């Protein structure tokens, strides 16, 4: 295999998608779509994630120090894409039907349509840029999982197929874990609200 130097890219590095749930100052929920998410180790499993640009989600996390991370799967992709398209500062972003509940341990909104949700507490924030780009190191305070997936008789392959998680790369497309193209960024959102506009945060502003 001969390799050549190219510009820095994550195009060949599939990223799992999560919807972050935070509470606004008035006690209403806010959800946003993110993909720069991975794991780290404290004395136990933790989460490391990056958020860039001016976003309501980051404002809420900085104020409350807690949030939820809800796995995006094929069945809730339109809703997740909507959360990644509409702007959190628009008063009508959450004017849709969303089934959510409070976390079992932390005061965070949890997305009911997700089969896996982490309740996270921020341990440390590292500023990496001039436009609110940050890396968050988080403790997992609780993990909520669809009870059907806890069945020890299921194989890893059966669990992956049952979950049907969604991934993305740098191509602004959504892909299934078995390689099917399942939509483009901001298009599946129209299944939730046909006239949704791409917000400033989604444009990187």
Q: Kindly report, residue by residue over 84-140, the tens digit of the pLDDT.
A: 999 877 767 888 989 999 999 999 999 999 999 999 999 999 999 777 789 999 999
d(CA 96, CA 86): 11
Q: Is 121 domain-assigned?
A: yes
Residue 6 lies in a domain: no
- Binning pLDDT at 50, 70 and 90, where does residue 5 land? very high
Through-space distance between the first and last CA atoms of the chain, rounded to whole angstroms? 40
Cα 157 to the chain's mean position, in Å?
Answer: 23
Per the CB < 8 A criterion, the answer to whether 124 and 137 are in contact is yes
Tracing tokens 């894409």 back to the chain, one arrives at 81
Quick one: what percent of the chain has pLDDT higher than 90? 69
Assigned domain for 198 exists: no
Where are the extended beta strands (E) located within 37-108?
A: 37-41, 45-51, 66-71, 100-102
Q: What is the pLDDT of residue 201?
A: 56
Q: Which domain holds residue 95?
A: 15-191
Q: How many domains does the chain have?
A: 1
- Give the torsion sign (CA, 148, 153, 156, 161): negative
Give the model confidence (pLDDT) of 12-56 as tens digits: 888 999 999 999 999 999 999 999 999 999 899 999 999 987 889
The secondary structure of residue 65, as a DSSP letter, is: S
pLDDT value at residue 202: 59
With respect to residue 141, please indicate whether it lies within any of the assigned structural domains. yes
Q: What is the CATH number of the domain that holds 80?
A: 2.30.110.10
Q: Considering the chain, what is the average pLDDT of its residues?
A: 91
Domain-embedded: residue 138: yes
Summarize the confidence of residues 47-70 as an average pLDDT.
94
Higher pLDDT, 171 or 157: 157
pLDDT value for 200: 57
In a domain, 9, yes or no: no
Provide the pLDDT for residue 205: 38
Let me know if residue 64 belongs to a domain.
yes
Residue 23: which residues within 8 A CB-CB, separation 6 or more? 29, 30, 60, 64, 107, 108, 109
Question: Partners of 49 in the beta sheet?
Answer: 37, 136
Any domain includes 45: yes
């Amino acid at each position: 295999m001969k390799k050549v130097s190219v510009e820095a890219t994550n195009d060949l590095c599939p990223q799992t998608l999560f919807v972050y749930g935070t509470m606004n100052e008035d006690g209403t929920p806010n959800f946003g779509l993110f993909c720069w998410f991975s794991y780290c180790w404290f004395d136990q499993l933790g989460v490391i994630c990056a958020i860039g640009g001016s976003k309501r989600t980051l404002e809420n996390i900085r104020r409350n120090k807690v949030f939820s991370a809800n796995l995006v799967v094929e069945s809730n992709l339109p809703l997740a894409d909507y959360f990644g398209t509409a702007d959190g500062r628009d008063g009508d972003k959450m004017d849709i039907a969303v089934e959510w509940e409070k976390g079992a341990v932390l005061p965070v909104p949890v997305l009911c349509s997700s089969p896996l949700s982490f309740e996270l507490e921020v341990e440390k924030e590292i500023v990496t840029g001039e436009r609110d780009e940050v890396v968050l190191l988080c403790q997992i305070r609780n993990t909520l999982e669809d009870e059907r997936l806890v069945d020890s008789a299921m194989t890893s392959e059966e669990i992956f197929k049952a979950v049907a998680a969604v991934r993305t790369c740098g191509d602004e497309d959504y892909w299934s874990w078995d390689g099917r193209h399942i939509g483009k960024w901001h298009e599946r959102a129209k299944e939730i609200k046909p006239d949704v506009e791409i917000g400033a945060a989604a444009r990187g502003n």
